[in-house]
Amino acid sequence: MLNDSEREGIFKAIFERRDIRSFNGKPISKDKLNNILMAGHHAPSVGFMQPWDFIVIDSQGVKERLAHACHKEIQALSIHYEDEKKTRFLSLKLEGIREAPITICITCDPTRGGGHVIGRNSIPETDILSVACCIQNMWLASYAEGIAMGWVSFYKKTDVREILNIPPHIDPIALISLGYTDFYPTKPILEQVNWERRRNLNNLIHHNAWE
């Protein structure tokens, strides 16, 4: 069980953790990186299948190629917006792969654990959900280590598979960039730029049935 200050620490991390896409050049120590990876590896997973792998990228050449793939996708997605909204979308900084000292591609291996993983038999996407738990653990651990993290999902999986030599049956779920930042916002960046805001929790809670 947690004592009061440990409990406060957990809630502080949950409420203050932010998605960050701007990094200064300060490198991350091996110890901190290992702590973050270890936190990811201690996430819950369906049937304890641990479907994740971590491709740790510090090569500037590889980062450039990943950033290029993301920018292609961001341009492609901008077609869904028009006029002022399109200009605003394209002005958002949606990745910081080039600047971040480390980017990690977190993958999902749907075959891990064989054909009969407890729980995954009923809901196959629980393997990807397990990877999401792993990433959230890494996000909170990064916050605890004073390191900023940004989740990047704007890419075509085929591009990332090709750049990182990932086999066809492995799913690249996320690129996460890690580094130090000069500015750690108190609110989500998308809220700060009036793109979206936090919904009222009371409107999302139902009692006994969907109302």
Give the interface segment with ligand FMN, choosing from 15-23, 26-34, 107-115, 164-172 (CB under 6 A): 15-23
156 contacts ligand FMN (rule: CB under 6 A): no
DSSP for 38-105, please give it.
HHHHTS--GGG---EEEEEE--HHHHHHHHHHHHHHHHHHGGGS-HHHHHHHHHS----TTTSSEEEE
Is the CB of 18 or the CB of 156 nearer to ligand FMN?
Answer: 18
Number of residues that bind ligand FMN (CB under 6 A): 11
C-alpha to C-alpha distance for 148 and 74, rounded to whole angstroms: 22
Tell me how far apart the alpha carbons of residues 43 and 57 are, in angstroms, rounded to a whole number. Answer: 22
Q: In 109-153, which ranges are E strands?
A: 148-152
Cβ at position 153, least distance to ligand FMN in Å: 4
- Whats the size of the chain, residue-wise? 211
By the rule CB under 6 A, 19 interacts with ligand FMN: yes
Work out whether 188 is an interface residue with ligand FMN (CB under 6 A). Answer: yes
Based on the shown chain and the rule CB under 6 A, indicate whether residue 154 belongs to the binding site for ligand FMN. Answer: yes
Which region, judged by CB under 6 A, interacts with ligand FMN, from 29-37, 82-90, 117-125, 150-158? 150-158
Grouping H, G, I as helix, E, B as strand and the rest as coil, residue 140 is helix
Cα 136 to Cα 132: distance, rounded to the nearest angstrom: 6
Per-residue contact string for residues 110-129; x = within reach of ligand FMN by CB under 6 A: --------------------
**Which residue ranges make up the site for ligand FMN (CB under 6 A)?**
18-19, 21, 94-95, 151-154, 188, 190
